[in-house]
Structure 1
Amino acid sequence: MTTAHPVPSVPPSAASSLSARSSQSAVTLPDGAAPAIEVVALRKAYGSTVAVRDVSFAVGQGEIFGILGPNGAGKTTTVECLAGLRQADSGSVRILGLDPQSEPASVRELLGVQLQEAELNERMTVAEALRLYASFYEDPADTAELMDLLDLAPHRDQQFAKLSGGQKQRLSIALALVGNPQVAILDELTTGLDPQARRATWELVERVRDRGVTILLVTHFMDEAERLCDRLVVIDQGVVVAAGSPAELIESVDSTRVLRLRVEPHEEDGVLGVLGGLADVRAVTRAGREIEVTGTRRVLPAVVLALAERDVVPDVRTMTRSLEDVFVHVTGRTYDHTGATGPATTADRSDDDRSETEGAAR
């Protein structure tokens, strides 16, 4: 059993430094990319409650861009302003250069939206729903082609009420794409799905992006954002607290690498001595039958090469940081799979506490 301890408060200088870098990263497009979405100093309050506070970011055409954060962070309000469903108190939003409030008809032809709470008539079939939504657009997509793309063709005559959770989500994506949009907003796409359905949905999202559609992915799932997003903003309490690619954000928290090695028992003492003398190794400790090595980002090749020179071939596991570490770093809190926040704790590091990449050096 692991014992939880309070996490020390985040050093203000570290958090503010990351926040300052994030403000620039959020509005800086990838080289050569034209803007698909531009949000500048967006602010929206409900009475005395400020839901979104000076949020800014830019999405390049062809990106999967994420808005990541816990429940109540301001994600949905931001999306509703982008879709023209809510009027911002101040700031501006643009979809391919158009204002959703002053040019709603033009934006509707370019933007597809899948909202978290969307529901259809229970007796409507998949094919009927797609035909209905296609009738709203001047130049709709081929609905048969959409059903093939999203693996809905076998269910074309099935009623909405009888679809599985994964099938309903695939239909939601199809309805967001039926207008042939250049930009699609997907809001909490995999909430309530089992792991297999979630992964299948991720593959569909990548397939849609490969067709040239820019995707704004709104999610509270950190693994989903890390898997799918080219870049993202992390929003907490209505404020952008971090922005960049998943790799950049994780690297900004800590560039340390941790390896777990397993060697033959008679090799352990010699291996400990070899590893302790490597320049890229900062610490070597025993962890049961394994040896834990902490070092620089070059520690993996350094360790494997040094041991290979001594004819030692270890099993190696690379223990990696994740976006959860980023959120804890900038807020001092974490949140669970439901999106509910709570004070962060740090546990004795076990195999369940870190993401692992199995790397066989054998």
Structure 2
Amino acid sequence: MSSSALTIRGLQYSYGAHRVVDGIDLTARSGSVLGVLGPNGAGKSTTISLAVGTRRPDAGTVEIFGHDPVREHATTSQLAGVMLQDGGLPMSAKPLQVLRHLSSLYEDPLPIAELAEPLGLHEFSGRTMRRLSGGQKQRVALAAALIGRPRLVFLDEPSAGLDPQAREVVHTFVRDLADRGVAVVLTTHDLAEAEELSDEVVVIDRGRIIAQGAPEELRNASADSRTLDIRLDRPAPPELVSRINDIAPASARGSAVAVEEAPNTAQIAAVCAAIAEAGLQITDMDMHAQSLAGVFFELTGRPLR
């Protein structure tokens, strides 16, 4: 079998005259986590709906292990698990009733206990879905997505509303899925989560992919995105900060000085000389790339919400 679990080519979809998905190409591979990021209204959720076959694209193709999720939905529904943010689960049923029903739809389902125990579902198994908190519903929705032993999983905001302990349990599930060869498509508003879990990240804005690559590749894509952080033995006086600014754009807060826009070797040497001439000592120095949050803001001009 191909390592490509999900292949999308030239995908387009419009609501009336408004095109919300505009020529998207992406691939999710077995044994890896694909993080899909984008501001509200970027087209992420519509792309996922098209990928799982709940909407028919206006143009382009979607394949799940070579099968069309619209024309061969009975086949792809056995191959893919879906966790949607709104859950889509019956509100009058109790969590274990939901899982027992879903379990009956698959040829080789996971034992319910393998999901219920680590996700803590027994803590609230006596309540109906409508009486659960948002985080509790998320845990049930994750179990529902995994009960059929899918080879491809779509997780929409899987950690939303979870406490830190439950969040770490979910992250462990995601890592274990990839380790077992499952392809994971993860949409999240938590950039730290995307950076921690994703092997590859796709950034969607206004229906188009505007960047993709490993998190480290995106952080290092622009040389100007690197910053030199210098720690001094005491706060930098204004005249020193002014002198450093003449060498390269810089800012200071207390004893910390940040030299921006990837200073070259000559600039770094000049900054160090200015510090020495001012009679201060450097206690630490570090050149680092900006965070994925910084990359996202640079690409879209807005924070991820």
Measured against the shorter chain, the TM-score band is 0.7 to 0.9
Residue 226 of structure 2: aligned partner: 256
**Percentage of pairs with the same residue:** 37
Shift of 1:240: 0.7
Equivalence for 1:63: 32
The one-letter amino acid paired with 2:254 is: G
Match runs of 1:127-276 below 5 Å = 127-193=96-162, 197-253=166-222, 254-263=224-233
State the secondary structure of the residue aligned to 2:220. helix
Aligned length: 289
Which residue in 2 is equivalent to 1:326? 295
Q: Measure the CA separation in 2 of the matches of 1:125 and 1:316.
A: 56
Match of 2:63 in 1: 94
Q: Deviations over 1:210-258 (max 9, x none)?
A: 3332110122333332222110211111111111111111211335233
Pick from 335, 340, 353: which aligns with 2:303?
Answer: 335
Equivalent position of 1:290 in the other structure: 256
For residues 216 and 64 of structure 2, the distance between their equivalents in structure 1, rounded to whole angstroms, comes to: 27
Measure the CA separation in 2 of the matches of 1:259 and 1:169.
40
Q: 1:218 to 1:336 in 2, by over 3 A?
A: closer
Who is 1:113 aligned against? 82
When normalised by structure 1's length, the TM-score is 0.69
What's the CA shift for 1:123? 4.4
Q: Please give the secondary structure, in 1, of the residue aligned with 2:257.
A: strand
Does the CA contact (< 8 Å) of 1:260 and 1:319 recur in 2?
Answer: no
| Structure 1 gap segments, 5+ residues each | 1-32, 307-311, 338-362
Task: Give the partner amino acid of 1:148.
Answer: E
Instruction: Give yes or no for the alignment of 1:77 onto 2:43.
Output: no
Aligned to 1:20: none
Q: Which amino acid aligns with 1:334?
A: R
The alpha-carbon distance between structure 1 residues 86 and 295, as it changes in their structure 2 partners (threshold 3 A), is: closer
Instruction: Provide the aligned C-alpha RMSD in A.
Output: 3.4
- The equivalent residue for 1:340 is none
Shift of 1:140: 1.3
Structure 2, unmatched stretches of 5+, are 273-280
Residues 64 and 214 in structure 1, CA contact (< 8 A), matched pair in contact too: yes
Hey, what's the Cα distance between the residues in 2 that align with 1:93 and 1:120?
25
Q: How far apart are the structure 2 equivalents of 1:168 and 1:245?
A: 31
Question: How far did residue 263 of structure 1 move?
Answer: 2.0
Correspondences of 1:41-52 after superposition (within 5 Å): 41-52=10-21
Q: Is the 8 A contact 1:263 1:315 kept in 2?
A: no
Residue 80 of structure 1 deviates from its aligned partner by 0.9
Q: What secondary structure sits across from 2:57 in the alignment?
A: coil
Q: CA deviation at 1:189?
A: 2.4
Contact 2:218–2:295 (8 Å) recurs in 1: yes
Contact 2:31/2:177, CA 8 A, preserved across alignment = no
Q: 1:85 to 1:295 in 2, by over 3 A?
A: closer
Question: Are residues 121 and 99 of structure 1, via their aligned partners in 2, closer, same or farther at CA, if it must alter by over 3 Å?
Answer: closer
In 2, distance between residues paired with 1:165 and 1:207?
A: 24
TM-score w.r.t. the length of structure 2 is 0.80
Post-superposition Cα deviations, 1:21-60, rounded to whole Å, max 9, x if no partner, equal: xxxxxxxxxxxx8211100000111221111111001111
Take 2:128 and 2:107, find their aligned partners in 1: how far apart are those partners? 26
Alignment partners' CA distance in 1, 2:41 and 2:260: 37
